[in-house]
Structure 1
Amino acid sequence: MKIISLNKGLRALWYPIIFGLYLCCPPAQANNRLRQNQSQWQQNQISGTITDGTNPLPGVTIAVKGQQKMVVSDFDGKFTITVSSTDILIFTYLGFKTIAVPVEGRTVINIKMLEDATALQEVRVNAGYYSVKESERTGSIAKITSKDIEKQPVSNVLAVMQGRMAGVAIVQDSGSPGGNFQIKIRGINSLRADGNDPLYIIDGVPFSSETIGFSQTSGTTPSLTNPLNSINPSEIESLEVLKDADATAIYGSRGANGVVLITTKKGKAGKTTFSANASTAVGKVTRMLDLMNTEQYLAMRRKAFTNDGYTEYPSYAYDVNGTWDSNRYTDWQKVLIGGTAEISNFQASVSGGNSSTQYLLSGNYRKEGTVIPGNFEYGKGSVHFSMNHASDDQKFKLLFSAGYDAQKNNQPGVDLTATSRLLAPNAPALYTQNGELNWENSTWTNPLADLKSEFLSRINSLNANAVLSYNFLPELQFKTNFGFTDLTNNESRTRPSTMYDPSYGVGSQYSSLNTNATSRQSWIAEPQLNWYKTMGKSKLEALVGSTFQSQRTDRLFQFGANFSSNNLIHNLASASIRTVSRSDETIYKYQAFFARVNYNWDSRYIINITGRRDGSSRFGPGRQFANFGAVGAAWLFTNEPLLNDNTVLSFGKLRASYGITGNDQIGDYQFLDTYISSGNMYQGTIGLQPSRLYNPAFGWETNKKLEIALETGFLKDRIFLTAAWYRNRSSDQLVGIPLPATTGFNSLTANLGATVQNTGLEFTLRTVNFQDADFSWTTNLNVSANRNKLVAFPGLESSTYANRYVIGESINIFRLYHFTGMNPQTGVYEFADANGDGQITYADDRNVVVDLTPKYFGGFQNQLTYKKLQLDFLFQFVKQKNFSYRPGVPGDFINQLSSVSDSWQQPGDQSPNQRYTTGTNGEVVNAYYQYSDSDAAIVDASYIRLKNISLTYDLPLQLAKEVRCKLSFQAQNLLTFTSFNNGDPELAYSSYLPPLKVYSAGIQITF
């Protein structure tokens, strides 16, 4: 209305202007000047599209310089605004350079915005219960966004973080579909293997990462029921990892090992937009072992029999006694794990809304094949919905999101990786001429028989969240977070009689079935109050809230055998033998009160104080509650007046934090007397037997964290460097204290006075190497080094842990023999006699301590953009040591590395490998296993891996401007550079399937 009134007033001034022109100028000149003035004030509609050179930018603010008029670009980056030809448009967008563009009579203005490294400091990062500007955070928070996530053809949320975050070490357990990943944030804090997992939060709702699998159903295929597989990476908007005490203390005991915050995608205002993305991929094993061929293998076996004094080959030596074809050669790695896994992925979404309500609905389906023979596959489908609503006065806001995921994983019950490495290269054919499994007259176990043992898992997961907030005053907000999760897992492992040699006369009654039915439900409610006040140069924020959480887990493990038919093997009622291996119900309740106060003076001095009082049902009476807290401070020294005119140092911040967090990752009811069913019947009644002793002194683990960090930006933040030092000390370790056998129990879970310390350095470097309208190049580097140490362990020398840990050394150590060389006369390995008693013993002579903690690790990422073409690639690197591959005694009935061909042959030989034996020479066999437990078995397992590469191109569609089409090529684990010759260095000394090398091609259409 103001603009209209102004235009009317201006038109009223035309009459005296026209009269003056008529008097002073000829009519023709007056008419020309009049037309010029009219064109300056005439209102024209301007339209255009705003992009970053590749993708459209929604939410860009377009304002008219010197006026109140403003519009925002829609989901497609399009805008429309009415201005005069002399106006100047100002384009602003967080993280990008502000652009001023004169209209100059144009009706179409298309804009390409450039990233502004300096503006990135104004981006807000999620800290859980609150958000904070990147430039003003006092804690250590690492972040990646959907821009990095969508470039990786992976299905597990942990896989997207590998090599991209300082201080976050992630290792893949297996290359099998649905396989697990291990994550360690700033080292290992707990002596318990299951006490080092971080806390996962999805849209404010805790997501339990506790295993839901069962060893009897998963078989030798590890962790195929990892709950984190339920999180679809394509639905994630951002991932933040909270690391230090300042960032994690507000989560109390749950944040002891770090916090992973997962924020899902939300709808954006604008017209309804539909997007579909389809891709197909193939996967192959990254690295195979260099094994002996038939000639090398038979030479080894024959020499072994000679060394052991055999004059003729025994009847069971089928590989060398003529039973098997000595001219036959099979590369069993190629046959059993050398196939091609086919992967397909499809995703579609629809989103839109207005300034008050926005929505997003998306669905995804992914199917993965395997590299092993057979029709095995992993399928996952998910649907995600989110809605944001705000009242017209912006006082009331509602955010709702929900995700449902269904997985089906059908895999062999046995990982064939170990078999592919051990089988003799001249072993028989897999099938007979009739196409049946070949048992070669019962001279071997056909490896394909293991594929008849199947693992089947069905997982359904629901995660829902609602956040309601109301602003009573501009400075005062009340907010409540409600969440609910529901996860069910039904898995089984079958062993039909058809997997056994028919000559054994095994009938279907020898078939067996293991089942696991696990369900887990949890709810959480978190009311909180937020207050904000600005007083001159001071800004004060305060937050108080509480948490109420409950989780219930039900498990039922059953076993059945002697089925009437293999066709009924999945029907437990058809088994003549049925037992319940385990049945339990656990309830975990958690309650907490938390608070935060943040004071900021003149954007120079910031202090952040957080505190939490936790209560957990996992501890006994009188010990259920504990207090945790932290203080963080930051000094933005580049905001000091002394540096106002500085042109080199564009940003500088020194920050520090100290605090205490706890840990209650010990499982439920560990402090109570518990009983289990004995399974034995007495006088018609099945009795109970005690399984755990009561311990009233059962308390919290505590983790004290200290950090000091420096953040600096140079040349308008085109070079940005962060360096951080930290020290974490975890004490009151909850471990099993061994008990005498006379008590009837192996151990008592209690607080041990042991202290574990982690210290480390983290470096991140971001550089804008080149940037103009058509071409840009940015680089990100992160390097982390962690040192783990056992600081204290009272009574270690007299405990059962004496042979496991050493005070002053890492808890990730191995105590080994010292290898002194091979006796050239006997051809047998020799070792140092540490205690000088004339014999080599396991307890007394392993005095060499080797730490297998990586010395450093990190990632090196580059992003290059040229017009509509974008290339991203990431190198992951790890400096580490590990055990070399040792399959068994060389000369026995198993294959070996080809390097083992160089072995001792006769007295006086100097070779790296001792004499062969078939296993009957006890001295040689014993020396082999001592060698496997010696410092000679430790090798360099460092590697540099081209972890990810992504190439995308936006097709310039001239005929359909409302449609965007993007083509992409992606690759994962593409190249590996390493001196480690024992397979894949990431899974060094592992018998599980290595990670896969994946090539993916896709297309995305948006309209």
Structure 2
Amino acid sequence: MNNFSLNKGWLVLCYSLILGLCLCHSPLFAQNVPLSTTSKQQVTGTITDGGAPLTGVSISVKGEQKTVISNFDGKFTIAVSSNDILIFTYMGFKTVTMPVDGRSVINIRMQEDATTLQEVKINAGYYSVKESERTGSISKITSKDIEKQPVTNVLATMQGRMAGVDIVQDSGSPGGAFTIKIRGQNSLRADGNQPLYIIDGVPYSSETIGAIATSGTAPTLTSPLSSINPSDIESIEVLKDADATAIYGSRGANGVVLITTKKGKAGETSYTVNASTSFGSVTRTPKLMNTQQYLAMRQQAFANDGVTVFPSYAYDVNGTWNQNRYTDWQKELIGGTPEVNNLQASVSGGSQRTQYLLSGNYRTETTVFPGDFKYTKGATHFNMNHTSDDDRFKITFSANYIAQKNNQPSIDLTRVSRTLAPNAPALYDANGNLNWENSTWDNPLAGLLSQFDSRIKDLTANTVLLYAIRPNLQFKTSLGYSDLNSNESRTQPSTMYNPAYGVGSEISSLSTNQTTRTSWIVEPQLNWNKVIGKGKIDVLLGGTFQKQRTERLFLNGFGFASNSLIHDLASASIKTIDLSDETIYKYQAFFARMNYTWDERYILNVTARRDGSSRFGPGKQFATFGAIGAAWLFSNEALLKDNSVLSFGKLRTSYGTAGNDQIGDYQFLDTYTSSGNTYQGTIGLQPVRLFNPEFGWETNRKFEVAIETGFLKDRLFLTTAYYFNRSSNQLVGIPLPGTTGFSSLNANLDATVQNSGLEFTLRTVNFQHKHFEWTTNFNISINRNKLISYPGLESSTYVNTYVVGQPINSIKLYHYTGMNPTTGVYEFEDVNGDGTITSMGDRKTIADLSPRFFGGLQNQFKYKGFQLDFLFQFVKQQAFGSMPGVPGTAINQLASVSDAAAQQPYTAGANGAVTTVYYRYGLSDGNLQDASYVRLKNISLTYDLPLKFTHGVRCQLYMQGQNVLTFTHYSNGDPESKFSGYLPPLKVFTGGVKLTF
């Protein structure tokens, strides 16, 4: 479905179809010719939740072993006698018992049961556990949440839906990156806070690929996480506390994100086709000066500077440019409407013993920038499960292959769209060529001729073999493999420069980056369980053996005979190698888990892991991590067993350690690189890193206590958690004197970072009726980060970066005291009283730029075939206001700056004192703004067409919106944008149709 344009003919056809089909209504129960009471005959029917059919419902005959499964259309067929009783069971729904009573057709409507959600299995990585019995902190979303969001990055699906998981979109450019923090920032290193990602049991490296020289419009390097296809995901679990993460040892300090892909289901072969088209736009843009306001500011600035005749270079005010011209540059440069086309198809089915799923996805996305830029992604997913006839042997195979092609401008026009004079010349001349207006400006579209091209191919495969040696003893082996191949390039042709400069293709350049990353992992495991009286014990033993190889090659080419050859590095007259290296990461570990449950009331969970990593020096390569978790199901006590108000109650706590080895490879070794310089005809080497075998693991100690309570048969379910984490033995680069020849030495610092906080989640079933249901999910997280200790901080180069007792994401600022009533210039507190304002002596005010709290509110409504979902995301935070340049210079400003009485005197640049104070104001608390916001993050409306006469076909129409509305007082555009001047998140509206047959 390449075009979702709603022309008149399409509307008439759809309206007629929907109107006609809505007249068809199926009764809740239907009867047909009575069955014989002695012989077996076929009973058929359809199972729904009041609107949509339910796939995978188990239908069994009471007192017999016979069981069948409803197919994709909710239909079933079973051979029964007239006096048999059918039992319908489905996870998350109330069990239905229905006597056959002589009928040949039985249609069933099942209702969701909040109580049974406690029986849902949660993926904890190496094992699964019932929601009611888990001792750790695990948040989860499923494909039902994911498929309602028109996004391409897996992290976008989690925003606002999980307590303790703070996710920020760094850029709205196609393939742009996200930042994730689970329960705060643990490491002083910005690149040391990534969680561990696991896809179907295979670790997936989140280390960035690429280089600054070849990166595109995003403010960060290419993130491999964009390679994960959200439509192939069945569930995402996030492990947060020590009990849940310690089993991952050295890689679990920042949390673990478990991604489980979709699996095949038993039943008739079903086919699904899902097609959609989306249109987007920038969420929020700041209100800028118009031409009259801008020129008035410029004229006043020159007057303030004592300039009576405008200089020749002041083209905007001296008459060179049309002073009656106005262009909304934000609309012109970043106001485009990107189109996203998405097509997904799958086939699945199988028997009770063997199931399979094969799916494919193709997605194209354009951009808001002018020009023919496109992001294309194709994905294939395959899964097969098989169980032997004696149920002792099981095999599962999953594979995901994704190919991406991303062609984008290598610059982001967001900043220039907010600073360019509103009366600047037209972009094109009368002949349709770039307009340079007699060399009076740099045409912003010229930068689009410098392009970023990325091609990424990514394969992840996993096989799990399980054999039951005895009914209570199983041996399992997980085998995983991943292969990532990335090729990036950035071109800078001579045509991006003003032709008046007389430059030719000899200055054209090409930068390329080739990165390959392969990894294999083997994890043998042994699981034993036994029931002893009222107790139940479960023991898991296992090992991990992993190897990862990364190869990188960064090349540059300069000077091409023609720009048509710019993508051919061999045609460059000068070629250089910036980097050519190969790194190997080896990892091995042994882990154990013991879980004991007594009388379904008391649970004890103990985990331990012994890790070894090649990233540390001799004697420091191994470390031990572990945790203990406990839970008390007090609702199972005799006193509360049949309580009509309290339906569930659990108190849990955990304490343990996890580690962090996110430091890159070979950091402890003496390393050398080719200098590129020759001596007597030989190219020499130069040292780049000093040997230090003493540094070891960062360690994170985690404590948590939580209470989970359900009321009124779990129709109201509340979870409250408090956590307290301390990360020590920080791995940082300790600065060295320049005389050593090295800028820093990697070493452990006896610094400690603390994160503590509260998390609340609330789920309510507000209304549950035959045809109407309403449920609500709410979560809020409050995190406080603090630097507890940093020996020698005052004498280090980080003295102006960190403050003991303050958050590590805080910043030292001047204290703004107001405007001088005489001069009108900004003034600041002289903290040390020396009569001058200096950075070292007076930047003492501390501002925390981390969110004070964040969360989300989700509501879901079901009425017959309709389903409406919407999620509000909220964040309480502060951020710096707009500081594009000194007001009065040739830079456009916020419209509010046109109020001269609220500003210090404009200057065109001659008043150095005003200029200095302006930039000082930018680093003061006076420039802080409330950047809190509430955003309608996602809305989805789905309608199941009642296709009564089209047997075997299910049709869903849906409309979705992402980043629909934003409520904020922030003046500088979108409050989520972390990097000022980069494209903010996009507002996206989607329409689509999903067919299953």
1:106–1:219 CA distance, 2 compared to 1 (3 A) = closer
State whether residues 325 and 423 of structure 2, in contact with CA within 8 Å, keep that contact through their aligned partners in structure 1. yes
Q: 2:572 matched to 1:575?
A: yes
Deviates more, 1:136-145 or 1:44-53: 44-53
Task: State the Cα distance separating 1:457 from its structure 2 match.
Answer: 0.3
Question: How much has 1:42 moved relative to structure 2?
Answer: 5.0
Shift in CA distance, 988/919, structure 1 to aligned 2, threshold 3 Å: farther
Note the alpha carbon deviations across 1:452-506, whole angstroms, 9 max, x for none: 0000000000000000010010000000000000001100000000000000001
Look up the match of 1:472. 469
Cα deviation for residue 88 of structure 1 reads: 2.6
**2:29 maps to what in 1?**
none
Aligned residue in 1 for 2:554: 557
Of 509, 512, 519, which aligns to 1:512?
509
1:948 aligns with 2:938: yes
Q: Would you say the 8 A contact 1:982–1:988 is kept in 2?
A: no
Q: Secondary structure at the match of 2:952?
A: coil
Alignment partners' CA distance in 1, 2:37 and 2:70: 25
Contact 1:869 1:951 in 2 (8 A): yes
Matched residue type, 2:708: E
Q: 1:54 aligns with which of 30, 45, 51?
A: 51
Deviation at 1:72, TM superposition (A): 2.6
Q: 2:337 aligns with which of 336, 340, 344?
A: 340
Deviation at 1:209, TM superposition (A): 0.6
Q: Map residues 181-580 of structure 1 onto 2, 5 A cutoff.
A: 181-218=178-215, 220-223=217-220, 225-580=222-577
| Aligned-residue RMSD, C-alpha | 1.2
CA contact under 8 A between 2:35 and 2:82: conserved in structure 1? no
Matches within 5 A, 1:555-954: 555-903=552-900, 911-954=901-944
Pairing partner for 1:970 from 932, 955, 960: 960
Distance in 1 between residues matched to 2:192 and 2:806, nearest whole Å: 20
Q: What does 1:165-176 correspond to in 2, within 5 Å?
A: 165-176=162-173
TM-score of the two chains, using structure 1 as the length reference: 0.95
- Distance in 2 (CA, whole Å) between partners of 1:447 and 1:40 is 83
Task: Give percent identity, aligned residues only.
Answer: 71
Residue 110 in structure 1 maps to residue 107 in structure 2: yes
Match of 1:9 in 2: none
Aligned pair count reads 965
Does residue 44 (structure 1) correspond to residue 34 (structure 2)? The answer is no
Q: 1:627 to 1:647 in 2, by over 3 A?
A: same
Per-residue deviation, residues 254-276 of structure 1 (Å, max 9, x unmatched): 11100000000010111111110
Q: CA separation in 2, counterparts of 1:644 and 1:511?
A: 77
1:322, 1:644 → 2: CA distance? 86
Higher RCO (C-alpha 8 Å, min separation 6): 2
Q: Highest Rg: 1 or 2?
A: 1
Counterpart in 1 of 2:971? 981
Partner-residue secondary structure (3-state), 2:707: strand
The DSSP-based 3-state class of the residue aligned with 2:618 is coil
Secondary structure, aligned partner of 2:435:
coil
What is the CA deviation profile of residues 164-202 of structure 1, one whole-angstrom value per residue up to 9, with x for unaligned ones?
000000000000000000000000000000000000000
- Post-superposition CA distance 1:809-855 (Å, at most 9, x none): 00010100000111122121111111111111111100100111111
Verify the 8 A CA contact 1:821 1:831 in the aligned structure 2: yes
Residues 34 and 103 in structure 2, CA contact (< 8 A), matched pair in contact too: no
Cα deviation, 1:385-423, whole Å, max 9, x if unaligned, reads 110011100101100011110000000010000010010
Aligned ranges 1:87-106 → 2 under 5 Å: 87-106=84-103
Task: Answer yes or no: is the 8 Å Cα contact 1:885–1:989 preserved in 2.
Answer: no
1:40 CA displacement: 4.2
How many angstroms apart in 1 are the aligned matches of 2:305 and 2:119?
Answer: 74
**1:536 shift after superposition:** 2.1
Shift of 1:56: 2.5
Alignment partner for residue 80 of structure 2, among 83, 89, 92?
Answer: 83
The SS at the match of 2:841 is: coil
Describe the SS at the equivalent of 1:75. coil
Equivalent residues of 1:140, 1:243 under 8 A apart: yes
Structure 1 residue 958 displacement after superposition: 2.7
C-alpha contact 1:480 1:528 (8 A) present in aligned 2: yes
CA distance in structure 2 between the partners assigned to 1:823 and 1:858 by the alignment: 41
Task: Please give the alpha-carbon distance, in whole angstroms, between the structure 1 residues aligned to 2:99 and 2:675.
Answer: 85
Q: Do the aligned residues in 1 keep the contact of 2:168 with 2:978 (CA within 8 Å)?
A: no
Q: Which of the numbers 131, 140, 157 marks the counterpart of 1:143?
A: 140
CA distance in 2, matches of 1:259, 1:887: 39
C-alpha distance in 2 between matches for 1:341 and 1:758: 40
SS of structure 1 residue aligned to 2:274: strand
Give the deviation of 1:334 after TM superposition. 0.2
> In 1, distance between residues paired with 2:76 and 2:218?
54
Shift of 1:64: 2.7
Amino acid at match of 2:150: P
Which whole-Å CA distance do the structure 1 matches of 2:899 and 2:251 have between them? 53
Q: In the aligned structure 2, how far is the partner of 1:38 from the partner of 1:611?
A: 60
CA distance in 1, matches of 2:281, 2:642: 56
Contact 2:305 2:911 in 1 (8 A): yes
SS state of the match for residue 642, structure 1? coil
CA distance in 2, matches of 1:413, 1:847: 38
Contact in 2 for aligned 1:941/1:988 (Cα 8 Å): no
In structure 2, distance between residues paired with 1:69 and 1:272 = 21
Does the 8 Å CA contact 2:40/2:79 hold for their aligned counterparts? yes
Note the C-alpha offset of 1:37: 13
Native 8 Å contact 1:178 1:224 kept in 2: no
Paired residue type of 2:614: S
Contact 1:652 1:712 in 2 (8 A): yes
2:985 corresponding residue in structure 1:
995
Q: 1:592 to 1:733 in 2, by over 3 A?
A: same
SS at match of 1:121: helix
2:267 partner amino acid? G
Give the distance between the partners of 1:99 and 1:219, measured in 2 at CA. Answer: 56
SS in 2 for 1:843: helix
Contact in 2 for aligned 1:177/1:224 (Cα 8 Å): no
What stretches of structure 1 of length at least 5 have no aligned partner? Answer: 1-35, 904-910
Report the alpha carbon displacement of residue 60 of structure 1 after superposing the two structures with TM: 1.7
Q: Following TM superposition, by how much is the alpha carbon of 1:219 offset from its aligned partner in structure 2, in angstroms?
A: 5.0
Partner AA of 1:369 in structure 2: T
Residues 551 and 37 of structure 1: is their aligned pair in 2 closer, same or farther, counting only changes over 3 Å? closer
- Cα deviations across residues 207-247 of structure 1 (Å, max 9, x unaligned)? 00100021001155334621001100000000000000000
Distance 1:952 1:619 in 2: 53
Report the TM-score when normalising by structure 2.
0.96
Q: Once the 2 structures are TM-superposed, how far is the Cα of residue 577 of structure 1 from its aligned partner?
A: 1.1
Matched residue, 2:15: none
Q: Distance in 2 between matches of 1:594 and 1:63?
A: 40
> How far 1:99 sits from its partner (Å)?
1.1
| Cα deviation digits, residues 687-732 of structure 1 (max 9, x gap) | 1111000012111100000000000000000000000000110000
Quick one: which amino acid aligns to residue 129 of structure 1? Answer: Y
438 and 65 in structure 1: CA distance in 2 versus 1, 3 angstrom threshold: same
Contact 1:884-1:988 at 8 Å conserved across structures? no
| Residues in 2 aligned to 1:207 and 1:630: alpha-carbon distance in whole angstroms | 24
Kept in 2: contact 1:882–1:989 (CA 8 A): no
Task: Quote the offset at 1:920 in angstroms.
Answer: 1.7
- Report the counterpart of residue 11 of structure 2 in structure 1: none
